[in-house]
Every structure is written in C-alpha cells, then in structure tokens.
Amino acid sequence: MPLLRPSQKLCLVLFCSLLLTPSLISIASAQSDGKSHAWMNTGFSPDERASMVVKEMTLDEKIQMMHGTGMVGLSPMSPLAVHSNGGAGYVVEIPRLGIPAIQMSDAAYGVRMSGENGRYSTALPSCVAGAASWDLQGGFEYGALIGRELRAQGYNMSLGGGVNLTREPRNGRTFEYMGEDPVLAGKMVASVIRGIQAQHVLGDIKHYALNDQESGRNAVNITIDKRAARESDLLAFEIGIEESDPAGVMCSYNRVYGDYACENKYLLTEVLKKDWNFKGFVLSDWGGAHSVEKASAAGMDHEQPGWIFYGDDLKKAVESGKVPQAELDDHVHRILRAMFATGLMDDPVQRSVPDVLGGLEVARKLEEQSIVLLKNEKSQLPLDAAKVHSIAVIGPHADVGMISGGGSAQVDPPVGNAILPPGKGQTRWLEPVWFPTSPLKSIRAKAAGAKVQFDSGADPSAAAALAKNSDVAIIFAYQWESEGMDLPSLALPEHQDDLIAKVAAANPHTVVVVESGGPVTMPWADKVSAILEAWFAGSSGSDAVANVLFGDVNPSAKLPLTFPRSEADLPHPKVVQPPPESIPNDTQPEVWKQIAAGLAPFQVTYDEGVKVGYKWYDAEKKAVLFPFGHGLSYTTYSYSGLKVTPGKNPKVTFTVKNTGKRDGAEVAQIYAALPAAATEPPKRLVGFNKVWLKAGESKEVTVEVNPKYLSIFNVEQNGWQLLPGEYGLMVGGSSENLPLKQTVTLN
C-alpha cells in the first residue's frame, strides 16, 4: 500500500516557480549573514540562542516554522516550495532573522532522489548490515558519509535513523532498521546519528514508535504491555536518543494504545520529553499528523510534508487560546535549539562536489565489516584464487548487479537500474532496483586465471549442469524488500530454493551469497558448503563480497537478528492484514485527506511482549537456524579469565585470543540472566565490544555495563529498577555460544 511517491515532485516545484511573483522569490532566497544578530554569539547555549530568536518572531513566522511546504499526493504544494532542494521536506527560511531553510532528505543508507535531482550519492550497505558490523566507529563513519553527501547536495537535515525493532521479520523495512535487540540497535543508531550531526546536519530517529509492520501502517492500533514496551522497542529509542541527542524524532503512522503516535501524549510527552528529557523536535511522518490541538498538546512539534493542521488552523487555535502561546513557543524553540545545537547555524551548508571515489571506498569497507559468514563447512572459504580453475557464478542478475532496499530509503544508482538499459533506470516506487555492482566482474577480477562462467538460474537444470563442470559454484540469491509492503513469507522468491538445491546436488562445493534485508528460510542450508549473508550490499557490494570470498578480508560480522528455522516458529505465524476499511483508497485524488481524517483502526497485539527475536526463541525453547550474534571467521577465537566487578556500573573483564593463523576481529558479546523474580526471558544482551586481534594475539577487554540494561522497567514507579539478587553474566561470540559464565549478587 504505497503512500504516494513524489517522483513528479520536481515538475510540480518547477510549475510552482512559474506562479511566483518576483518579490516572493527574492524574499525567499535572500540570505542574511546573521552575524549581526545577538543569537549568533556562540558564547550562549543553544537554548539561550533559541529563546532569543523566539522572542523576536512574529506569529506568522512561528507558524511557518511548524510545517513543510507540501508533497504531491500527500498534501497541497505551497508556492514557496520552489526553494526546496528537491528533498522530502522543506521548511521556509526567515531571512529577516538569519534563520536558514531546513532542507530535509531521506537518507537511510545514502541520500535519496539524487538521480531525480541530477546529483550523485553513494549507497551504503543497508542499515541492518551496519548493525551486523557491531562496530560503533563504523556506524559513525556510516553517518559521517551520509552527512557529508547531504551537505554536498545542499541538504541540512537527514531523515534516517530507523530503529524499529525486528519484532516482525517480514516487515518490508527490516533492512532500514538495526535488528532485534534494543541495546545493539540503540547504540548503533546513536553512532550513525552522531556521525551525521558531526557534519552539522540535523539528525533524526524514527519511526516512533512500534511501527513494526508496514501492512495497514496508517490504521493499525498496537497494544503491548507497557513494561514490555519500555524494555524493548522504546528502549532502542531511549538509548539512541540519550547517546546522540538527535535534532528530530519522527512520530510514526500507526496508533499505539488507541491514539495515533503523532498525537500520543504517553509517547511524546510522558516518555520522550519528560522521562528521556528529549530536547529536539518531534516531526510527523509524512502524512502522519491528524489534528491541531490534540497533536500540539501531546507534543508533536512540526508537521510534514504540508500544513493540513499546523498552518492556518494552528494559527487560529493559537489566536483563540485553544493552543496556548507557550505551547507554540516550545515547539518553535525545540526546532531552533536543534539548529543551534548541531552547529547548522554557525556552519551553514554549502554545496560541493561529492567525493565519489571516497564514497565507494567507505561503502566497500563498511560492507566488508558487515558480511556475515553463516556457515563454512570444511573451510570451503576462503577460495584460493591460485588453485581454483573454474567457477560457476549463478543467480538472478548476478552478472550485472546486486539488489537494494526500496521505498523512501531508496538510493538512486548513478547509471540507473542495472537490469535496465543504461539511462532508462529511473527508480520507481515498489520497483526493485539493482545496483551496478557486478558479482561476476568482481569474481573474474579476483580469479584471473580461472574460467568464470555465468548462469542466471532461470533454468535450474542448466545451472546445475554448469555447476557440475566447475570446481566451485557460487549462487547469488536475493530477497527484495521495501517500505510500503511486508514480505509474503521469509522464503526466497523466484524458485531460488529449488535452484540452490539442484546446484548443491550437482556440486559439493556450493557457496550461497544471500542478498536480503533480514532473515530468510534456508531449506537447503545442510546441503551447501558455505553461506554468506551480504544484506543489501550498497554501491561497492560485489567487490566487498569478492574480498571476503577470496580471503582478502576476514569476515567479522555477527547477526543482529535471528534466522528462524520456519515461519511457524515466529511469535505471529502470519502478519495481521488490514480490513478493506483500513486501507486508503489510492485511486481517489485526495487520498491524503482520507488518511489525515483517520482510517478505521484494526488491532495488532504484541502479546509476546519483551520476547523479541532471540528472547522469544530462548524462552519458548525453539531451535533456530542461525542465532542472534552468530557469525564465523577464517580464524578462531578463545575466551578466558572472566572477572565481574559489581558496583554502580558492573565491570565485566575477560580475555579474547585469536587462536588461528589470520588477523581478524571478534565481536565479544555479554549477556545477563536476571534474577528469577524479574520474570524476564533467559538472557539479554547488556554489552559488546569488537576486538581487533592479530593472529595469535590476545587482549584483555573490560566492558562497563550500564545498570539500566540489567534493570526491569517498573511501571508503577515509572522508572528503571535494578532488582537485588543473583545475576548470571555470560560472555562469548554468539547468543548460543557463551563459554564464560559467572554469577554475581547485585543490590
């Protein structure tokens, strides 16, 4: 159910420009140097600076700051939209006060709509791949690249930072998020946002909250036990916000406990602004606003993409006292404070030429850190280029490209969709886009002395025949996903299971490289010799995969989500689908009005509560295909010497040794089992550390555990509570391989 996409937006913006009077154009484009304003003195705090501006603002200026300027299909267009940079959102500047426009662009794994706007941007590996690296410094570099490319294109706000937990792995946006664990997801998203904001670009975290399925997202009402919510989905946001101070929090489309997220006092005021002390501004997801007074009182600070509620209607509500002046001022203050706090006011964006080659290298390195070696029987990998004489490269489009994630996260490939003729590949909503990063070419480059042949796999018997005559068969399997849909199942599409089974039967040296946004089922897992999870691999994906296949890079990533054996093992065997009255009528011209007015709610209850991902499989004692935290290496590691020092922030110390012959990096994971009185699942992740080790090297590692991660959320006391009692601390290389264990008493 796509919500209108703005591929025609630029045309409309151009059309609007013809309607503009010259005076409007000059007013809107005038830039004040701002230096003469008192609030440009950096000696004042962001809050003080914001307060000074608010005092000077007229009511109209304040209202203008409360909303965007429209988007085709989702809200009418303002003539002032002509000054938009072509991104998803634009807030008009106030030259009189030296306040620049806010130019927002989607930027989940790279800057969106660059092709449409005649520009270039790098596609990084998908966000879930970033989480698979478990590398906080890598996360910062991920964000820094996005921030740099946003600036180069003239944007000053990113709409990324997706951190909804993988509660429902068929969610079509799983690739945009950071996996199933709140501590990993929260820390990773924070490092990405810190990287973005370090470029003096406003960061954003989304979609707040519990927007864990796409089906019926504008109507679904989510119910979950409050303690479970605070310890799972909301905890990921809490950590992300406390560790990165993002400028924006995007409230989601769905309802939670009966109220839309964007007019939900519990979520926006009680939890976000009071409990977490969030200082930035809440912006609606695009078309996610539903009211003036209720939304404003609940804590929604800004409406996107238009002004259905926060334009004239808000102005009238302020004039009549229905929305108190102080409430409006708080909304405006939060936006301005964020602009000062991120440095955007002192270092305004200037366009430049992006560093394309640098971007490709960052994308490759991050992907190399993100590819998970799931299985490697008899050390099938790495391949030895000097010894392998023939290789069959098999799989849909593996000769030309690798798949990317769709929707508002979609990055445009520089020369268009690799499976279409050059230049004909404009990206379209809900149409899979293959990036021009060719596995066949990258493998040929590595194995120059070998005969490397390609088969698309369309005829599995022909592919099996080629595999039979080759030393090694490498199958590139894919599962595309996108915003605006959920996956019908976790099985690979296009009969790929059958293809893999046939090829594996023909060649005992069969390697499968999976390109997916999340877990897939693998009925053939026992039959193949090696499996790599490459995710949606980004602009330089095939070179990164080839580097891992041939051992130039030693894999070090670990799963940020569980691969179940079958969908029957999920908490909800089926995704709840909306009834017809909960689906907007896409064919009617004013569908946005229908969404804004509200669609009939339908119910989804997360009765599994806190048991998301591995916590569910652990508690329900269900065996999985590949557990959370799992990932192999071409070397081996040993763990020893666990010491736990109780205290306010308990310290967990241990030694990791690289016991093999290659340099590598091990993601050491720390889990805790809470006292029985807590009635929690058997264990939860409470810390991790990616340790780089030369062959034979060992390092002592100390991780301080945040007491919150050991606590339960006490709803009556509205706070985190560390229960006195015995805690089991476990350390190792995966949630199912924890060789070190110690019990400590905490009180």
| Active-site amino acid positions | 285
Q: Distance (Å, rounded) from C-alpha 310 to C-alpha 314?
A: 5
Q: Which residues pair with 171 in a beta bridge?
A: 486
- In the DSSP assignment, the letter for residue 269 is I
Q: Is 44 helix (H, G, I), strand (E, B) or coil?
A: coil
Bridge partners (DSSP) of residue 651 are 645, 704
Shortest approach of ligand BGC to residue 209 CB, angstroms? 13
Site for ligand BGC, residues 487 to 526, rule: CB under 6 A: none
The nearer residue to ligand BGC, 257 or 429, going by C-beta atoms, is: 429
Among 63, 65, 66, 88, binds ligand BGC (CB under 6 A): 88
Handedness of CA 379, 381, 384, 389 (dihedral sign): positive
Three-state SS at 564: strand
Which of 67, 83, 194, 206 is close enough to bind ligand BGC by CB under 6 A? Answer: 206
Q: Which residues contact 731 (CB under 8 A, 6 or more apart)?
A: 639, 642, 652, 654, 668, 669, 670, 671, 738, 739, 740, 741
Binding mask 154-193 for ligand BGC (x = CB under 6 A): -----x----------------------------------
Q: Which of residues 250-289 bind ligand BGC (CB under 6 A)?
A: 285-286
d(CA 586, CA 724): 55
Nearest residue to 172 via CA among 232, 136, 220, 217: 217
Query: Minimum Å distance from CB 106 to ligand BGC?
Result: 5
- Interaction residues for ligand BGC, span 571-630 (CB under 6 A): none
Closest C-alpha to 62, from 249, 284, 318 = 318
Minimum CB separation of residue 88 from ligand BGC in Å reads 4
Dist CA 709 CA 430 (whole Å): 38
Q: Which of 156, 221, 370, 408 binds ligand BGC (CB under 6 A)?
A: 408
Ramachandran class of 416: left when φ > 0, alpha when ψ lies in -120 to 50, beta otherwise: left
Query: What is the closest distance, in whole angstroms, from the C-beta atom of residue 254 to ligand BGC in the complex?
Result: 11
Cis peptide bond upstream of 707, omega within 30? no
Instruction: Rank residues 73 and 538 by Cβ distance to ligand BGC and give the closer one.
Output: 73
Q: Helix H segments across 407-540?
A: 439-446, 460-468, 496-506
Closest contact distance (angstroms) between CB of 355 and ligand BGC is 25
364 lines the binding site for ligand BGC (CB under 6 A): no
How many whole angstroms separate alpha carbon 592 and alpha carbon 598? Answer: 10
User: Residues 6 or more apart from 275 whose CB is under 8 A from it?
Assistant: 718
Closest approach, Cβ 406 to ligand BGC, in A, equals 12
Comparison of 106 and 533: residue with beta carbon closer to ligand BGC: 106
Please identify which residue in 3, 289, 308, 693 interacts with ligand BGC, judged by CB under 6 A: 3
Instruction: Measure the CA–CA gap between 616 and 730, rounded to whole angstroms.
Output: 18
3-class state of residue 691 by DSSP: strand
Contact 186, 163 (CB under 8 A): yes
Choosing from 106, 214, 263, 486, the residue that interacts with ligand BGC (CB under 6 A) is 106
The rounded distance, in Å, linking the Cα atoms of 648 and 634 is 38
Total residues at interface with ligand BGC (CB under 6 A): 8
For ligand BGC, give the closer residue by CB, 106 or 245. 106
Q: Residue 195 or residue 287: which is nearer to ligand BGC going by CB?
A: 287
Backbone angles phi, psi at 731, to 5 degrees: -130, 140
Of 722, 654, 713, 730, give the one whose Cα is nearest residue 225. Answer: 713
Q: Which residue, 387 or 428, has its beta carbon nearer to ligand BGC?
A: 428
Taking the complex as a whole, the smallest distance from the CB of residue 24 to ligand BGC amounts, in Å, to: 26
212 vs 285, beta carbon nearer ligand BGC: 285
Q: How far is the CB of 124 from ligand BGC (least distance, A)?
A: 17
Helical ranges in 522-607 per DSSP H: 541-549, 591-597
Nearer to ligand BGC, 91 or 701 (CB): 91
CA dist., res. 500 & res. 394, Å (int): 9
Going from the C-alpha of 398 to that of each of 62, 457, 555, the distances in angstroms are: 53, 10, 21
Q: How far is the CB of 71 from ligand BGC (least distance, A)?
A: 8
Pick the closer one to ligand BGC by CB: 219 or 450: 219
Contacts with ligand BGC, residue ranges (CB under 6 A): 3, 88, 106, 159, 206, 285-286, 408
